[in-house]
Amino acid sequence: MTTIDRASLIPALKNVATRLRIDSLRSTSEAGSGHPTTCCSMADFTAALFFAEMRFDPKDPHNTDADRLVLSKGHAAPILYAAWAEAGAFDRAELMNLRKIDSDLEGHPTPRLPFVDVATGSLGQGICAAIGTALNARRIKSDYRTYVILGDGESAEGSVWEAADVGAIDGLDTICGITDVNGLGQSRATMWGHDMEALAGRWRAFGWHAIVIDGHDMGAILDALAEARRTKGRPTMILARTIKGKGVSFVEGKDGWHGKAFKKGEELDRALSELEKQFVPAPPGVNLPASIPKPAARPRGVDTPKPMAPPAYKLGEEIATREAYGVALAKLGEADARVVALDADVKNSTFSDKFEKVFPERFYENFIAEQVMVGAAMGLAARGAIPFPSTFACFLSRACDFIRMAAISNVGIKMAGSHAGVSIGEDGPSQMALEDLAMCRAEPNITVVYPCDGVSAEKLVGLMAYHPGPAYMRTSRPKTPVIYKNDETFTIGGLKVLRESASDAATVVGAGVTVFEALKAYDTLKAQGTNIRVIDLYSVQPVDKAGLIAAGKATGGVIITVEDHYAAGGIGDAVAEAVAEAGLTVKRIAVREIPRSGKPEELLDRFGISASHIVDAVVSSRQSSASSRQSPVGSR
Amino acid sequence: MTTIDRASLIPALKNVATRLRIDSLRSTSEAGSGHPTTCCSMADFTAALFFAEMRFDPKDPHNTDADRLVLSKGHAAPILYAAWAEAGAFDRAELMNLRKIDSDLEGHPTPRLPFVDVATGSLGQGICAAIGTALNARRIKSDYRTYVILGDGESAEGSVWEAADVGAIDGLDTICGITDVNGLGQSRATMWGHDMEALAGRWRAFGWHAIVIDGHDMGAILDALAEARRTKGRPTMILARTIKGKGVSFVEGKDGWHGKAFKKGEELDRALSELEKQFVPAPPGVNLPASIPKPAARPRGVDTPKPMAPPAYKLGEEIATREAYGVALAKLGEADARVVALDADVKNSTFSDKFEKVFPERFYENFIAEQVMVGAAMGLAARGAIPFPSTFACFLSRACDFIRMAAISNVGIKMAGSHAGVSIGEDGPSQMALEDLAMCRAEPNITVVYPCDGVSAEKLVGLMAYHPGPAYMRTSRPKTPVIYKNDETFTIGGLKVLRESASDAATVVGAGVTVFEALKAYDTLKAQGTNIRVIDLYSVQPVDKAGLIAAGKATGGVIITVEDHYAAGGIGDAVAEAVAEAGLTVKRIAVREIPRSGKPEELLDRFGISASHIVDAVVSSRQSSASSRQSPVGSR
């Protein structure tokens, strides 16, 4: 909080707000696109936040103890940039490069900018990330506060109310939200228009302290921020009644101006000339940027991670990879204090409860709310934690858009999805993840690992924790035998050749439960006199391209993939792209229709991914290769 | 509502509830898994719903005017099945086949059963589908009511509150929700436990009529259902305070019993013996199943669809496919009264507003809440509408889990996602869909189409509407020239060869905006003396396998795909799998890193999918094929 006296502060802030409006208009008009009117509605409280409330160093936005600001309504990026420029983070002239390909001042904020923790622009996500930055303050015992600016239209997103629940139940009183209630969405008025009490009632019902103000009354803004700061035990939401386009009379409160830049020339000039007239006389000697309170350079012990305790399994011992995940997570938590876990009311199925039992203060229960779980993990990761959010793999799809934004943010969330595939059995298709590999592989920077046994699960938890960027581990429900020794080494981008000979007729690539189907097929075929090469593709993204090509070439070009996943976007596609440049093709064995309830082994067989289907594929590949030797090429 | 007098009704209903509890225990114990305790908490109001409230015909659950029941807490499937059996829909003995592979009584309900509209089991979705079935009643002018049973833990899902908003703003007073507040989630107590007013306050703040009752007091249940029926102008939520495991003393209200079947033998016998003792003397002659009020066999005019008006474009005319989508949707709406549209506050970007302008009563605005938009579409589709939900393609990922459940339900939702790919330009990565094809292709039964011009967009809207099951159309932001004549024919599973000669050096497969990059590359290469074959893959799932193989074989086995999408799960993978069996491989040109803001043409080039990259790929494929002719095979 600033120490400038209120009589001097208010006119100075008003002038900042006017300048932010001008900069928002000028930069968007220069870009030829953008959202100036939604910047105008929030200009007054943005000025107050930056120059009378927040503690930060414009030259060191990453400071551990600096207050955080999340612009959940990411389309208002121009005013965020204008405010940081006004604070001195960079030269104001740079604002004129808004939205240009070589500027980091993008259409919506991304962490390419040092003052942005997570990318926003998909509405309803920023407040979830704010939960994470607030949890992080508690984790590192810092008193920094988290501010988050929402749109009113945005408040229709269910994820906002997931965050509301978690913020209240966790008592996150360091969060101060401000909703910019300008009453207008993109295509029409919002559900609530300017019914401030309708919105305030919701926040109160969800356990927040809610304050309704005129968002253009600078005194009221300062009072509300002070009240939020005084409010303990629960977060505060300030509902600021504002006018979209405020300050430019011919667009104020008008529909049809969402996401439209003012046309350079007469239209822009008219708007700017109105705004220029709104500067008020301000007392001399007030230097707002210089008055911003800086975070103390608080010395902190560095958390040096220790080596993680090695796995302690016996070969052949049966353990589900989901359980081994939990064992590993607890060990990792012991080795590294930055590790935290989040779950969505299935901790006793994902086995994240093994971590909770040892580190209850680093475990965050999000109840059945996967969006805020992943969103909070994004905020935690952006501030230095190593968060492992876990749930059933199929329910991570609930947070698909958050995962997309985590990829854009390139934050190190380490997701774990259990109960993959039809091998879960009787619970049926609603609980089976059969598209999770496709979802995570689609993002070019998400690492995807998929252990088949306890040892690989443990080792891969350790690897994914420190591999840069987002990562995803897929685990299985059934128990599987341990096939690796406790000192086996794994790498991101590696694979294991489990069976090989000089006379292999085919390479069979499995992962997770299908590794064991491939091994069964190996035994069956071996008994019939046919050798196959069996690969455990525990690293699904990236894949070991050279290893796959070498195996394929050594086995007559026959590569068969088998996966407990639908055919598109999974292991088959990953392997196929990897080997394509060597001219090799892949026969994909995968689930190809909507499955149903049944016993795991029945389902593996019914849906075509059991050992017998692998045997059939190998045999038929031999027959077709024999027949192609007999018939002229190209005759089909 | 039943006509049986209350004094006779209440003991009879109590005995039904006891029987439903017994059946839930017996069937789950027989299956060896399932959720008996969560069935026990809801047994009393389930008995009341089926035998004193709902209007339906057990032998004809699909009747147009029958009340709908959505079990949003899908894990309570055993009691749903028990109630339908009790009503006479099927033989009670069938309950003992619960969760077996050849029974449709799956672990969670799916529409394989005639009395299930949409699959549930992913929490927070059923209430969104209920919004759709209620909107459908309004659409067809039926007075049927929609009942939806939620869990309390489930109420943490944001999608529940999206549905709450839409239900209130649309005044859907035909919806009566019942939340089974048993206070216990899977892994621990819920956020609220038995704080009934905390939950009721939320529903009231969201505009619902909320009634708090003791969920084991049959009189209170009947009164609440009657009050809900009398409540006009807004939906009602009954919050029923219940005890998990009610009726079985040794599990009542105990943590640790979620999702556990009673062990056959002593444990089950003890529970059943307690329940058997709970039967009460009931007046003779009460036949509850026979007393269920049947929906009238109301004759309705059949909506015979007319042919859709043909496109009316000029070759070379520029129109964005998203706009052509809107034009087509309005025409389709004219041709078929079953067509409805839903949007999420971007109707002026997706152009669904063209439909709204003509058919405002068949347009449903969901504000910025994509989950309820898709969920409501599921409910509408299940009841005979042809719903087109639309938003930016990237924001459909917000509803990814709903799309997954729509695939499991195999309901005919017809999704449209605009603003695909980097070609949107300056708004930046948060607004670019680069994984939507992967998301939709992952589901084996989702049809995926991707038009490149106005004519194909219009024709494909007409085709997707009547193709069975879910479908997705991807549209683009930039204007593109019309390349097809208005009478051109398209098919689901087809493609168009746009350029071919007898001497093509490569097949280039594009779709959407990359078709035009491929055509530019064609011109450039032609000028250099090289011919290529250019394919518009407007049907991405299914693909025309034979057509692709034929083209690949005719062009020296060189196939290059180019897509405004990430590399995994999109067009490259679709084509690669299709041609693999012919021994052909694919060179994939796609976006391979997180993009940024910039001009569309700059981004196409920067992220590697412009004409010049296609030219380079064709040239390099010719060089490598020339070099492979000179060097021995396998030397690399």
Is position A370 annotated as part of the catalytic site?
yes
Is the Cβ of B428 closer than 8 Å to some Cβ of chain A?
yes
Compute CA distances B209 → B168, B212, B254, whole Å: 9, 10, 31
Is the Cβ of B76 closer than 8 Å to some Cβ of chain A?
no
A390 forms beta bridges with A343, A416
Spatial contact of A241 and A214, defined as CB atoms under 8 Å apart: yes
Indicate yes or no: CB of A185 within 8 angstroms of CB of B592.
no
| Eight-class DSSP state of A293 | P
pLDDT in tens, A160-196: 999 999 999 999 999 999 999 999 999 999 999 999 9
What is the SS3 assignment for A211? strand
* The dihedral sign for the CA sequence B446, B419, B130, B142: negative
pLDDT the model gives residue A398? 98
Give the pLDDT band of residue A221 (cuts 50, 70, 90): very high
pLDDT the model gives residue A636? 33
Which chain A residues are closer than 8 Å to B33 by Cβ? 425-427
Instruction: Report the mean per-residue pLDDT for chain A.
Output: 96
Task: Report how far apart the first and last C-alpha atoms of chain B are (Å, whole number).
Answer: 78
Nearest to A571 by CA among A413, A437, A434: A437
pLDDT the model gives residue A627? 64
Helix residue ranges, H only, B107-186: 126-139, 158-169
Indicate yes or no: CB of B101 within 8 angstroms of CB of A603.
yes
- Report the b/e string of B530-553 with b at 16+ CB within 10 A: bbbbbbbbbbbbebbbebbbebbb
pLDDT in tens, A9-67: 999 999 999 999 999 999 999 999 999 999 999 999 999 999 999 999 999 999 999 99
As a whole number of angstroms, the longest Cα–Cα distance in chain B is 95
- Residue whose entry in the numeric block shows the structure tokens 């196959």: A532
Average pLDDT of each block of 10 consecutive residues along chain B (636 residues)? 90 98 98 97 98 97 96 98 98 98 98 98 98 97 97 97 98 98 94 96 98 98 98 98 97 92 97 98 92 85 86 98 98 97 96 98 96 98 98 98 98 98 98 98 98 98 98 98 98 98 98 98 98 98 98 97 98 98 96 98 98 97 69 38
Cα R_g (chain B), whole angstroms: 28
pLDDT the model gives residue B626? 66
Helix residue ranges, H only, B51-175: 77-87, 126-139, 158-169
pLDDT the model gives residue B623? 81
pLDDT the model gives residue A632? 40
DSSP H/E element including A466: helix A454-466
pLDDT the model gives residue B636? 33
Indicate yes or no: CB of A439 within 8 angstroms of CB of B154.
no
Is residue A276's pLDDT more than 90? yes
**DSSP symbols for A300-312:** ----PPPPPPPP-
Spatial contact of A430 and B409, defined as CB atoms under 8 Å apart: no
What is the SS3 assignment for A443? coil
pLDDT the model gives residue A3? 84
When mean pLDDT is compared across A442-456, A582-596, B47-61, B286-300, the lowest value belongs to B286-300
Measured in angstroms, the CA of B18 and the nearest CA of chain A are apart by 25
Please tell me the number of Cα atoms within 13 Å of A399 on its side-chain side.
37
Indicate yes or no: CB of B429 within 8 angstroms of CB of A119.
yes
Is the Cβ of B592 closer than 8 Å to some Cβ of chain A?
yes
Interface pTM, i.e. ipTM = 0.97
Which chain B residues are closer than 8 Å to A33 by Cβ? 425-427
A34, A185, A408 member nearest B367 (Cβ): A185
Which residues of B are marked as active site? 370
Spatial contact of B396 and B433, defined as CB atoms under 8 Å apart: yes
| Eight-class DSSP state of A51 | I
Is residue A453's pLDDT more than 90? yes
> Which B residues in the span 18-37 are in contact with A, Cβ-Cβ below 8 Å?
31-34
Distance between CA atoms of residues B613 and B605, nearest Å = 8
Spatial contact of A210 and A204, defined as CB atoms under 8 Å apart: yes
As a whole-number percent, the residues of chain A with pLDDT over 70 amount to 98
pLDDT the model gives residue A597? 98
pLDDT the model gives residue B166? 98
Spatial contact of B417 and B346, defined as CB atoms under 8 Å apart: no
Spatial contact of A421 and A434, defined as CB atoms under 8 Å apart: yes
Indicate yes or no: CB of B596 within 8 angstroms of CB of A110.
yes
pLDDT the model gives residue B608? 98
- Report the b/e string of B92-126 with b at 16+ CB within 10 A: eebbebbbbbebbbbbbbbbbbebbbbbbbbbbbb
> Which B residues in the span 284-313 are in contact with A, Cβ-Cβ below 8 Å?
none
Which chain B residues are closer than 8 Å to A100 by Cβ? 597-598
Indicate yes or no: CB of B572 within 8 angstroms of CB of A577.
yes
What is the SS3 assignment for A221? helix
Spatial contact of B625 and B503, defined as CB atoms under 8 Å apart: no
Q: Which of A86, A370, A458, A517 is catalytic?
A: A370
Please tell me the number of Cα atoms within 13 Å of B560 on its side-chain side.
31
Distance between CA atoms of residues A547 and A630, nearest Å = 31
Could you give the angle at the alpha carbon of A372 between the alpha carbons of A368 and A373, nearest 5°? 70
- Count the helix, strand and coil residues of chain B and give each as a percent rounded to the nearest 5: 45, 15, 40
Is residue A507's pLDDT more than 80? yes
Spatial contact of B566 and A444, defined as CB atoms under 8 Å apart: yes
pLDDT in tens, A523-539: 999 999 999 999 999 99
pLDDT the model gives residue A622? 82
**DSSP symbols for B292-315:** SPPPP-------PPPPPPPP---T
Residue type, B205: A
Is the Cβ of A419 closer than 8 Å to some Cβ of chain B?
no
